[in-house]
Amino acid sequence: MTEIINSNYTKPELINECNRLILYGIRTRDYEGTKKVKDYLISDVEDSIYVAFEESVYTLILYWIRDYEGILEYFRNFDSLKTADRGKIKPDNYILYMELGRDIYTTGAMIIDSINKSNLKNEYKEVLILSLYRQIMDFNWEGAVTDYEMTSHKLNSMANNFILTHLCSEFNKYLRSQVKEHDTPVLLGSCEVFSGYGIFTNELHSYFRNNLAFGPEFGLYYSRFSLSLRGYVGQSKTIQDIPYSRGTWTKDSRAETFIPQAFLGYTVRNRYYWFMHFQPFLGIGATDISPSSSDLKKFPDLKYAGLDYTLTYSIGLKIDLSLDKLFYLYHGSPYFWLRLRYCYNHMQFDKRYDGFKGNMHYLTLGIGFYEEISRKIHTQ
């Protein structure tokens, strides 16, 4: 530290060297030495031009060195501190932030235990733990395996309960703006290509084999809601001869199933929301089962043999698995995922054709991506 102080470093270089010492001090559990470097940066290096720490990095350092009074003081004054730092040059703390964040996620239980064993008032302990949980939640996507049995919904409930219990607490403003999760609605566009398998039921199952399917899907997502359009194309064969007004649709002929559909879905929050989304949905569309285009060219009269488009209601569940977060790819739009979808289709053929009562279940696996179209700017 003495060598750094007596060097000819510029201020940005001095800040970077001190950050290196802070990380080293935390790694070696030299909390007192780390505190001295931190205090030096704030008292002797920060000025009207330069800031020593990004806000998120500063609180992580204080948690690590167990400076709980310093954290509480920051919570009390965070609004005025942010205003005072506005326009100043901030250091590139990304590497320090990531290193401290990964460690605080995996050893957060030790810090929580330290807070609980401290001589602080229970109110202060609650605030410190709530804020630490927010830090831990922010690093959830990094893939550490420590399980705190915490979700954003649960953390929001805990913060709300604190605010209602301590209506005049000096920390409520900080909890509302920095700890509670605020939904930032984003309009997303999505594209998917899928393949799957469809199973007919009842009388339809007596006439047509199960089908192999493929197709595209396009969607719009806003907050937890989605609206998507899908084109399901299934390939199967007839199981028996099917007579029609001008002849017979013979056994083992190719049959093509077309189902254009529109779905309205709603995403359900869950403890694995950071990389796995569950979305039940309702849909409406139409189903057509027809001879193949090659057979229609050979035998034009077969156009009278198919089951023309009929109203179809759908219900089901889709599960999106984030490829970005599963394999630690870059984080930003577009977001890539795998999608597993189950859909039950209630078709109305029996209302138009005698003896063709039946529905269809299908299961598909797709790959696609979300792309941000617009983001609503959220102000606290």
What domains lie within the chain, and their CATH numbers?
A: 2-179 (no CATH), 186-375 (2.40.160.20)
Residue type, 336: F
- The token pair that represents 4 in the structure block: 């750094």
4-13, 180-189, 252-261: the lowest-pLDDT one: 180-189
**CA distance linking residue 63 with residue 112, whole number of Å:** 10
Mean pLDDT of 274-294: 92
**CA distance linking residue 231 with residue 362, whole number of Å:** 13
| Predicted confidence (pLDDT) at residue 9 exceeds the cutoff of 60 | yes
Mean pLDDT of 262-277: 83
User: Looking at per-residue confidence, does 229 or 331 come out higher?
Assistant: 229
* pLDDT value of position 114: 92
Mean pLDDT of 172-194: 83
* pLDDT value of position 185: 62
| Predicted confidence (pLDDT) at residue 366 exceeds the cutoff of 60 | yes
> Quick check: pTM over 0.85?
no
Q: What percent of the chain has pLDDT over 70?
A: 91
| Predicted confidence (pLDDT) at residue 338 exceeds the cutoff of 90 | yes
- The token pair that represents 278 in the structure block: 């569950």
* pLDDT value of position 113: 92
* pLDDT value of position 375: 52
Q: What is the mean pLDDT of the chain?
A: 86
